[in-house]
Structure 1
């Protein structure tokens, strides 16, 4: 077959596209992402963000991480910039006012623009635990969410097909009534966390804050918070108060946050689909929405690639079992041997197929056993998932470190070679 007719498989193209989106962050070429980004980071450094403690490191690191995650998810610029400055006035969760909210809003606005600063300010003054958990997350059972995600996909598909035929009738269904009841088209009113004044949030702003909370939690949560809040059931209810034994940084295990995050993702998907159907309805409506100017319809709602485009829910039970199997696989190789560790990692992946690190460790085991084709497959899957999340699940190593190690594994698997000495392992590093 002539070389010109050889085509790479679709997953290879997808992986290369993902890697291209991540490469500016891996190389520190931030000006290619946004020519203002280096200057914005310099501003954050100048006000001490790099000196502030924040869960998994410094506040500056966290802010840059959230920007990276949102950018990889193709969020609008204003949303990404909100991520970069998202707690800069402090908020209902943290005391990190690197800009005084009473005097610093003009300063921040000059740097990021009106739209982003408005989101930053709103994010910092609303009671986010009440907004995200009490008003949304805790209003749905898990089984209800699973069914509503399925129903909403069917509803949207039918509506789009009908719209192509010129029929703009959208059915009134249970899933729509539920999401409209918890988050009406005209948005919600919350109380300012300091003044008690009413703060109106449009449905798209609430959805944006839900998306940012997914990014925020995924970047910073690990076993340290599980101990603090007694999250042994994996439901992330923040019900415990074990502050004396919550010794930072703890044992470094991956945290039990994915059940909660996956439920947030499902609700976000319902909101996005309801917004699409609402737009179809409004496009044929002769009446003007009296609150149209308050709906923030210019804010684009993007679906992150994680959790199969935020359509899958990982049960609390499965996330616990998967995490514990993973921990056995990475920590007990001297006890279990390579075959035993491979077996528990394979079981971990079945329980939780949505994170990359189990694939990566399994790939290294396969490399050591000379199973190069299997190793390549696992390394590429791990690489895909790690880039899609934009942050590591196993936070003992940085996201950049995991990505680099994945690429080493992919390269060596393609070469069908792996070091047979300890010095050979230490010599690894170059990726192409």
Structure 2
């Protein structure tokens, strides 16, 4: 189901337990689950943008804010706990620890966790899905056609010709209704995955990438074209953490999001066409698929070219204020948002510029839009600061814009902080 459109205040209410550390208000078991992860050393493991524990909690938060079901959120919280095809992070023994994990999160979540850790995820997400839709114009057309197909089916007028059905033919050839079979990464045994589980892992990969990727990985894999093909191998020159620029990952996950939307729509059509009593076995019909709010409910694709230009314009605007002046930075940030309207940080920086110029209504508008987008993502695009830090700064800007005031001294800026 699509994520409902909400304003910043509604989104903030959902995020507030995470911002205040009141995790028991999210799930009464969550603090104890995090304590378990701490006890087995998750906080001591390095992971891309921080510790493994930080990453696990971040993924849980993102999925929860997107409205994912509990078993999917819990899978996110333990998602690489047995290690997987990407990382060496077996904080639980995959041969002896499954009962332990199952006791903590339940059978449904542990099954997803185990599957996530034993399937070749690079092959699944990229070879079997993403690279099968290398033509972005085709993917855009399939999004349009699938929306029409679903509308017709819901209205009971399933008069669909070959042209509009082409999207279904391709998707069904890649992901049949009864799922796919991949090889276990260690044993080589067949592992069956239903279409809904594949979609769930695609959703989790979107959350996973959005939380951890920044310019360090672009250098590591020579992602200069922004397509995130993992084809480079610059292991010697990728010095962590690098310059901290936003990474070039949004084109890739926007295509993932579009494919995810196609799978969700195909599943919805399947449920209309096939009575529940006739449903095939092992389809995980009880697993709910939700569409996150990012990228206009995963219906927009950001081109690699626009992604690169937007990032570079933002970087020039946010880092070179002393050289360019505020008017020059404003121009760069506005151009950045024309190229990539899907991230919040350029709006936030614009909000501060407008506050310093006494343009309070414009500042409020930009800060609230930045706040909305950051809350929808559940993670920052510019990872030099934490998500919580960006959210709190946005709220300061919104508050000061409403008050129509802004400090005119350096000490005044340092004095900011309290948010009402």
- TM-score surpassing 0.5? yes
Kindly provide the CA deviation profile for residues 384-416 of structure 1, in whole angstroms up to 9, marking residues without a partner as x. 000000000000000000000000000000011
- Give the whole-Å Cα distance in 2 for the aligned partners of 1:89 and 1:170: 45
Instruction: After TM superposition, list the pairs within 5 Å mapping 1:346-357 onto structure 2.
Output: 346-357=334-345
Aligned to 1:50: 43
Give the TM-score normalised by structure 1: 0.94
**Post-superposition offset of 1:293:** 2.5
Matched with 2:92 is 99
Q: Per-residue deviation at 1:181?
A: 0.7
Cα offsets for 1:203-260 (capped at 9, x unmatched): 0000000000000000000000000000000000000000000100000000000000
SS at match of 1:200: strand
Alignment of 1:390-401 (within 5 A): 390-401=378-389
Candidates 232, 245, 248, aligned match of 1:240: 232
| Separation in structure 2 between the aligned mates of residue 295 and residue 49 of structure 1, nearest angstrom | 33
What is the CA–CA distance in structure 1 between the aligned matches of 2:361 and 2:69, rounded to whole Å? 38
Length-normalised TM-score, structure 2: 0.97
Name the structure 2 match of 1:7. Answer: none
Q: Can you list the C-alpha shifts for 1:46-80, whole angstroms capped at 9, x where unaligned? A: 00000000000000000000000000000000000
Q: Does 1:358 align with 2:346?
A: yes
| Matched residue, 1:334 | 322
Residue correspondence of structure 1 range 53-202 to structure 2 within 5 A: 53-140=46-133, 141-162=135-156, 173-202=165-194
Q: Which residue of 2 aligns with 1:325?
A: 313
Q: Shift in Å at residue 170 of structure 1?
A: 6.6
1:85–1:120 Cα contact (<8 Å) kept: yes
Distance 2:138 2:170 in 1: 10
User: What is the CA–CA distance in structure 2 between the aligned matches of 1:171 and 1:27, rounded to whole Å?
Assistant: 53
Distance 2:8 2:326 in 1: 28
The counterpart of 2:358, out of the listed 370, 382, 390, is 370
The whole-number CA distance in structure 2 between the counterparts of 1:41 and 1:225 is 27
CA gap 1:77/1:112 in 2 versus in 1, 3 angstroms:
same
The question of 1:31 aligning with 2:24 is answered yes
Is 1:26–1:400's contact at 8 Å kept on the other side of the alignment? yes
Q: Is 1:345 aligned to residue 337 of structure 2?
A: no
Counterpart check, 1:406 vs 2:391? no
Kindly indicate whether the alpha-carbon contact (under 8 Å) linking 1:53 and 1:59 is maintained by their aligned counterparts in 2. yes
- List runs of 5+ in structure 2 lacking aligned partners: none
Distance 2:138 2:287 in 1: 28
Matches of 1:96 and 1:372, distance apart in 2? 48
Alignment size in residue pairs: 414
Q: Report how far residue 16 of structure 1 moved.
A: 1.4
Using CA pairs under 8 Å that are at least 6 residues apart, name the structure with larger relative contact order, 1 or 2. 2
Q: Kindly state the Cα deviation for residue 158 of structure 1 after the two structures are TM-superposed.
A: 1.2
Q: Say whether residues 1:249 and 2:278 are aligned partners.
A: no
Q: Distance in 2 between matches of 1:42 and 1:372?
A: 44
- Report what 2:211 is aligned to: 219
Partner of 2:278: 288
> C-alpha separation between the residues in 2 aligned to 1:429 and 1:64?
25
Secondary structure (helix, strand or coil) at the match of 1:253 reads coil
Give the C-alpha shift of residue 288 in structure 1: 2.8
SS of the residue 2:155 aligns to: helix
Aligned to 1:4: none
- Listed one character per residue, the Cα deviations across residues 78-114 of structure 1 (whole Å, up to 9, x for unaligned) are 0000000000000000000000000000000000000
Contact 1:169–1:281 (CA<8 Å) still a contact in 2? no
* Segments ≥4 residues shifted beyond 4 Å: 167-172
Contact 1:159-1:170 within 8 A present in 2 as well: no
**Structure 1 vs Structure 2 CA RMSD:** 1.3
